[in-house]
Amino acid sequence: MAKRFSSTWGVEVDQSELVLSENGTLGTKKIRTRGQRWEVETEFSVCNWEDIVRRDFARPLWQRLILYLITLWDFAFSGALLRFSRTSWRFVLYFLYPAFLLSVVFAIAGCAVAWIAGLDFRGSGLAAAGAFPVVAYTLIRWPGDRLFLSHLMDLWIFSRQYLHESRGDVAERTESYARMVVDRAARGYFDEILIIGHSTGCVLALDIAAKALKLDAGLARRGARVSVLTLGSTALKVGMHPAATAYRARLQRMASEPDMGWVEYQSLTDIINFYKSDPVREMGLESLHREAFPIVVRVRFRDMLSPGFYKRIRFNPFRVHYQYVMGNTRRYHYDFFMICCGPLPLYERALRRILGPAGNEEIDA
């Protein structure tokens, strides 16, 4: 991605190796970016959730299915699904996608049972009884894994557990990252500190920011501008659930701090985000900010990618969803790497909404 970023913008990029913390939960690298008349040094840290994700992925299939059905019932009958539909009907399709795949799996498995039971040979009933779990398991594993079935079931299970405050392991990790943010701000070394989340990661990024403010009420007034950057956010799937009162209370702390920044990028092409939504309003929070909070910027993937590249990914919703954190092939006012490594602060970029594929002042500054 660094090569694509360098080629697209005509900049030089030097980066160190990724250095892991002692417990392996944080990886950090230094990135130095040089344009014609500017140079930026970025300390880029990656929050590592791999151990937690792998534990979730290791659950036996029967347990995953039970937990997912409980999750489906919870979102449907708590009123959360209705709230989704009022905010983004396309997100409802994404929510129902795993349930639809499971329905297809069970329908095919049922047909296999009926076919075997109808065979005129001794023992067909016993064979039919054993066919259902075998066929269902095979379909869930393949092609289910290729269609992200298990991945999405785990994602929704996690979302429900998190909003019900039943993920102590994740809560502990977010608190450790909040302490890291406070420590970085206390250094007085940085001009800007960004807490970045993508997709479900936005749920965690917002929580980390809120917990950092709880640890240090003056966090956003230490000198560096501290902002949250949410990309293709699905945070409302937690924030709009009636049971997520504790989560919303923590975010209210952030909405009540006028010096804390929040910019959210949304796209119509991406069905896995709440397009044209105001997260603070949808969660029923009260903002004390002087300006829009968050600043919501809508982007067009078509304009940040070459026609051929865009054509290859446009009908793959999961690949489109990840474009927020992938390199552009054309100059555009939204570019993840330019946000992280370029000369313009996030808020200035969002407010100015720099336009034009060529002659961008970031290059000439």
**DSSP calls for 1-64:** -HHHHHHHHT-EEEE---EE-TTSSEEEEEEEEE-SS-EEEEEEEEE--HHHHHHHHTS-HHHH
pLDDT digits (tens, 9 = 90+) for 309-360: 999 999 999 999 999 999 999 999 999 999 999 999 999 999 886 444 433 4
CA atoms within 13 A on the CB side of 178: 23
By the 8 A CB rule, do 295 and 350 touch?
Answer: yes
Q: What's the pLDDT score for residue 106?
A: 83
Kind and range of the H or E run holding 197: strand 192-198
By the 8 A CB rule, do 200 and 234 touch?
Answer: yes
Beta-carbon contacts of 45 under 8 Å, excluding residues fewer than 6 positions away, are 26, 27, 28, 180
* 187 pLDDT higher than 70: yes
Q: Could you tell me how many residues make up the chain? A: 365
Least confident range from 104-108, 145-149, 315-319: namely 104-108
Q: Strand pairing partners for 295?
A: 263
pLDDT digits (tens, 9 = 90+) for 36-60: 999 999 999 999 999 999 999 999 9
Single residue among 132, 157, 182 that ends a domain in this structure: 157
Alpha-carbon span 44 to 28, nearest angstrom: 6
Whether 25 is covered by a domain: the verdict is no
Choose between 287 and 132: higher pLDDT: 287
Number of domains in the chain: 2
- What is each CA distance from 3 to 12, 38, 41, 72, 327, in whole angstroms? 9, 19, 17, 42, 9
Q: By C-alpha distance, which of 21, 71, 5, 2 is closest to 332?
A: 5
Alpha-carbon span 30 to 316, nearest angstrom: 33
Rounded to an integer, the average pLDDT of 101-119 is: 78
Burial code (b: 16+ CB inside 10 Å, e: under 16) for 56-90 equals beebeeeebbebbeebbebbeebebbebbeebbeb
* 280 pLDDT higher than 50: yes
Whether 2 is covered by a domain: the verdict is no
Whether 218 is covered by a domain: the verdict is yes
By the 8 A CB rule, do 237 and 271 touch?
Answer: no
Beta-carbon contacts of 135 under 8 Å, excluding residues fewer than 6 positions away, are 108, 109, 112, 113
Single residue among 107, 128, 157 that ends a domain in this structure: 157
Same domain for 206 and 131, yes or no, is no
Q: Strand pairing partners for 262?
A: 228
Same domain for 353 and 258, yes or no, is yes
Q: Residue holding tokens 């970085």?
A: 184
Q: 291 pLDDT band (50/70/90 cuts)?
A: confident
Choose between 188 and 77: higher pLDDT: 77
Q: Enter the DSSP assignment of 167.
A: -
Q: What's the pLDDT score for residue 294?
A: 94
In one-letter notation, the amino acid at residue 67 is L
Same domain for 196 and 142, yes or no, is no
pLDDT digits (tens, 9 = 90+) for 69-97: 999 999 999 999 999 999 999 999 999 99
Q: By C-alpha distance, which of 296, 291, 68, 286 is closest to 202?
A: 296
Same domain for 153 and 182, yes or no, is no
Same domain for 144 and 60, yes or no, is yes
Whether 240 is covered by a domain: the verdict is yes
Sign of the CA dihedral running 251, 256, 262, 268: positive
Whether 130 is covered by a domain: the verdict is yes
Single residue among 157, 185, 208 that ends a domain in this structure: 157
Q: Which domain holds residue 313?
A: 174-364
pLDDT digits (tens, 9 = 90+) for 219-266: 988 889 999 999 999 999 999 999 999 999 999 999 999 999 999 999
Dihedral-angle region of residue 223 (phi above 0 means left; psi in -120 to 50 means alpha; beta otherwise): left
Greatest extent of the chain over all pairs of C-alpha atoms, in Å: 83
Same domain for 114 and 194, yes or no, is no
Same domain for 181 and 265, yes or no, is yes
Whether 48 is covered by a domain: the verdict is no
Q: What's the pLDDT score for residue 123?
A: 54
Same domain for 100 and 61, yes or no, is yes
Q: At 78, give phi and psi (nearest 5°).
A: -85, -15
Q: What's the pLDDT score for residue 363?
A: 45
The average confidence (pLDDT) of the chain is 91
Whether 195 is covered by a domain: the verdict is yes
Whether 9 is covered by a domain: the verdict is no
Same domain for 183 and 328, yes or no, is yes
Q: By C-alpha distance, which of 222, 142, 241 is closest to 182?
A: 222
Same domain for 99 and 70, yes or no, is yes
Same domain for 217 and 294, yes or no, is yes
Same domain for 255 and 148, yes or no, is no
Question: What DSSP string describes 306-353?
Answer: -HHHHHHHTT-HHHHHGGGGS--SS--S--HHHHHHSSS-HHHHHHHT
